[in-house]
Amino acid sequence: MRFLKTLKAFILNTLFPPVCVSCKKEGEFLCMECLKKLNKKKINPVYRRTEKDPDFHHLDGLIYALDYAKNPQIKAAIKQLKYRFTKELAEHFGRLIAEKLEELNMIKGKQIILIPVPLHKKRLNYRGFNQAKVIAQEIEDKLSNITILNLLERIRHTSQQAKLNKKERHENLKDAFSMNKKCVHKYSSNNLYFLVDDVCTTGSTLENCAEVLKKNRITKVYGLVVARAFK
């Protein structure tokens, strides 16, 4: 399996050598210069749930480093990350979030718990890594008051979300997540819980995860993503 994956990556890289999604320079999926430019942008303020907002019922807010609409190259980068098994991009994105997260006042003096959105075993085997976990790992390595906890597990394999509309997405994810019984955790009011994922498109994945956490004594749950795409 691992051999096949390496072979697949090798063939893809030979036929379609990596090209920077932003400036089209050959060599890397997102070159250092372009990454530096993205790093200069300030992290977006927390998008908070409001009464009028029908999208979020369980999620308390969303922290995102980049906006799809303002950074169209990010869309291409995320696609690469998902379909071409480019783990390096996930690492880049993790470092990007880590640098920006330090500027946020809401995390000061708090213990941050990162919960990567889990992949089903089937998809994990296919892709070889969970991009949310790789991003979370980079953040944990960079900042001191941050711990990863795999509080959630994916109990149901779901079809690809990309082709579905918002309502279908929500239905598709119903009962897909549950609390990971193997993960023992003491709840503290000084903890802030961040659900980590690569993108937030309609928010249904984060919503479904937040719902499970809130049914299990966790009171504040925020999403933490590289890019947001919804209006």
Q: Which residues bind Zn ion (CB under 5 A)?
A: 20, 22-23, 31, 34
- φ/ψ of 74, rounded to 5, equals -65, -35
CA-to-CA distance for 165 and 173, rounded, in angstroms? 12
Q: Which is nearer to Zn ion, 65 or 117 (CB)?
A: 65
CB of 41 to Zn ion, least distance (A): 15
Q: Could you tell me where the DSSP H helices lie in 84-228?
A: 87-101, 121-127, 131-142, 166-172, 204-214
Q: Which is nearer to Zn ion, 23 or 69 (CB)?
A: 23
3-state class (DSSP) for residue 213? helix
Q: Which is nearer to Zn ion, 23 or 183 (CB)?
A: 23
Residue given tokens 């499970």 in the structure block: 212
CB of 25 to Zn ion, least distance (A): 5
What is the separation of C-alpha 106 from the centre of its chain, rounded to a whole number of angstroms?
19
Query: What's the chain's Rg over C-alpha atoms?
Result: 17
CB of 125 to Zn ion, least distance (A): 32
CB of 92 to Zn ion, least distance (A): 12
Q: Which is nearer to Zn ion, 43 or 76 (CB)?
A: 76
CB of 32 to Zn ion, least distance (A): 8
Closest CA to 90 of 222, 199, 13, 230: 199
Q: Which is nearer to Zn ion, 27 or 45 (CB)?
A: 27
Q: What are the tokens at 84? A: 């071409």
